[in-house]
């Protein structure tokens, strides 16, 4: 049973383990494996891209539930970053770059504003997680842009 529990735990966290154990140089990886191959990701699904991505997402930027936004947001863009938000801020004020990938979808994604609120499936106050990834899983990528190289 002990083996089983350990195995399940490994399975649950396999993505993070994979991401953190294989990539020593985030910038080099993004430059050589993502930016240089960005055309390969056009017309693929977000899910496919995430499976190819060997980095764990530490911060993401999505449309915000701002007052002047409609009840159903239409957004064709999400940014995935690979430093946590604290490091992003601290690096930013030192004028150090932060690697992120901006993903543009072929068609806008409809997001009920409620989804972005606290407690919603895309709750802006919580970290990137499987549920959020699944929300975008079948969205088709039009273009990716690697920032902060």
Partner 1 sequence: MKKYILLILFILSLTLHFGGNGVTVTTFQNLRAQQQYGCWNENSGSGGGFFSWLRDRLGDVADAVVNVANAISEFLSTGDEEGEGGEEFGNEIGSDDWVEPSGTPDNFFNPLDDPWFMPEGFGQEEWDILNNLDYWYGVYVNGGEPPSQDCNGIWGGSAYVGSCGVCIAGSTGINACFVDSPRIDTAKPIKIPCSPEAIARGNRLTNIRDSINSLSDVQKVKDSAFHSLKEAGVSITNNSGTYGTFNFQSGANNNVNVLTSSPGQNIVVGLHSHNKGSYDSLNAANSPSALDLYHLINGQLLNTNYIADYVFAHDSTEWAIMIDNPTKAANFITTVPMDSATIAPPTDNNWSNTFKLSDGVSLYDKWYTWVVYLTKIQKYPIEDIEGFANVLFTGANLDSGIKFYKKINGHFKELNYQIINDSSGTPVEIKITICE
Binding segment for partner 1 among 16-24, 31-39, 45-53, 120-128 (CB under 8 A)?
Answer: 120-128
- We find the least distance from the C-beta atom of residue 28 to partner 1, in angstroms, to be 18
21 counts as binding partner 1 under rule CB under 8 A? no
Q: Could you write out the DSSP letters of every residue in the chain?
A: -HHHHHHHHHHHTHHHHHHHHH-S-HHHHIIIIIITTGGGGTTSBHHHHHHH--S---EEE-----TTS-SEEEEEEEEEESS-HHHHHHHHTTT----EEEEEEEEEEEEEHHHHSTTSTT-TTS---HHHHHHHTTPBEEEEEEE--
Binding segment for partner 1 among 27-35, 36-44, 46-54, 108-116 (CB under 8 A)?
Answer: 108-116
Rounded to whole angstroms, how far apart are CA atoms 37 and 33? Answer: 6
* Angle separating helix axes 14-22 and 2-12, nearest 10 degrees: 70
56 counts as binding partner 1 under rule CB under 8 A? no
Rounded to whole angstroms, how far apart are CA atoms 47 and 49? Answer: 5
Total binding residues for partner 1 by CB under 8 A?
52
Is 55 or 100 the residue whose CB approaches partner 1 more closely? 100
Region 66-105 residues binding partner 1, contact defined as CB under 8 A:
66-69, 71, 73-77, 79, 85-86, 88-90, 92-94, 97-98, 100, 104
- We find the least distance from the C-beta atom of residue 143 to partner 1, in angstroms, to be 10
User: Interface with partner 1 by CB under 8 A: which residues?
Assistant: 1, 3-4, 7-8, 11, 59, 61, 63-69, 71, 73-77, 79, 85-86, 88-90, 92-94, 97-98, 100, 104, 108, 112-122, 124-125, 135, 145, 147-148
């Amino acid at each position: 049973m002990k083996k089983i529990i350990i195995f399940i735990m490994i399975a649950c966290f396999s993505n993070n383990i994979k991401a953190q154990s294989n990539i020593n140089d985030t910038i080099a990886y993004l430059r050589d494996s993502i930016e240089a191959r960005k055309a390969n990701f056009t017309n693929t699904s977000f899910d496919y891209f995430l499976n190819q991505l060997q980095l764990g997402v530490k911060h993401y930027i999505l449309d915000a539930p701002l007052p002047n936004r409609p009840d159903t947001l239409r957004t064709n863009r999400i940014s995935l970053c690979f430093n946590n938000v604290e490091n992003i801020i601290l690096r930013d004020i030192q004028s150090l770059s932060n690697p992120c990938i901006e993903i543009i979808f072929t068609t806008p994604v409809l997001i009920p504003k409620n989804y972005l609120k606290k407690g919603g499936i895309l709750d802006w106050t919580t970290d990137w997680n499987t549920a959020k990834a699944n929300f975008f899983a079948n969205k088709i990528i039009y273009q990716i842009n690697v920032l902060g190289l």
